[in-house]
Amino acid sequence: MALTNNGRNRMAGLITGSLDQASYGFGNTRAWIGVGNSTTAFDVTQGNLQAAVNRLFKAMVAGYPTTVDNVMTFRSLFGTSDANYAWAEWGVSSGAVGDPAAGACLLCRKVEALGTKASTQSWQITVTISVLVGA
C-alpha cells in the first residue's frame, strides 16, 4: 500500500490546520474503503480506484477508524449484494467517493489479488496504516 499525492497533501493540510477535520478528515463518517477489479499498477497521481465499472466504496463499521499510537486501522463490511467480483485493488478514501470536487481524497491504493467475492458471502476488509519515523 502506498500513499497517493492527494493523500499525502491531505495529511499535511490536516496536520498543519490548513484543512479542518470535520470537512476533510478520515473519521468514522468520512472514511471509506473501496475495492475494485483493476490490476493497473499503482501511481501516486491516481485519484480513485482504477476499475472502470467494478468498484465500490463502503463506509466504516461502527467504532472505526481507530488510532493507537502510530497505527491507524480502517474497517468496512461488504455484504452479500456488494462487490461480487474479483478483488484486485483496494484503497482508503474520504468524502464523497469519486468526487474530488466534493472533498473526496484517495489516501492510499494497493494492487493486490484478494480473491473473488460471491453473492453468498459477506467480506470484511481491514486496512492498517503505520506512520513510521526514520532516523
Residue spans per domain, the chain = 2-130
Question: What pLDDT, on a 0 to 100 scale, did the predictor assign at position 102?
Answer: 64
The set of residues, in sequence order, having a beta carbon less than 8 Å from that of 106 and lying 6+ positions away, is 4, 6, 7, 46, 47, 48, 49, 91, 92, 93
**pLDDT tens digits, 2-30:** 999 999 999 999 999 999 888 889 999 89
pLDDT at 127 over 90: yes
User: What pTM was estimated for this model as a whole?
Assistant: 0.92
Q: What are the cell numbers at 22? A: 470535520
Question: What pLDDT, on a 0 to 100 scale, did the predictor assign at position 23?
Answer: 86
SS3 109: strand
pLDDT at 91 over 80: yes
SS3 102: helix
Q: How confident is the model at residue 133 (pLDDT cuts 50, 70, 90)?
A: confident
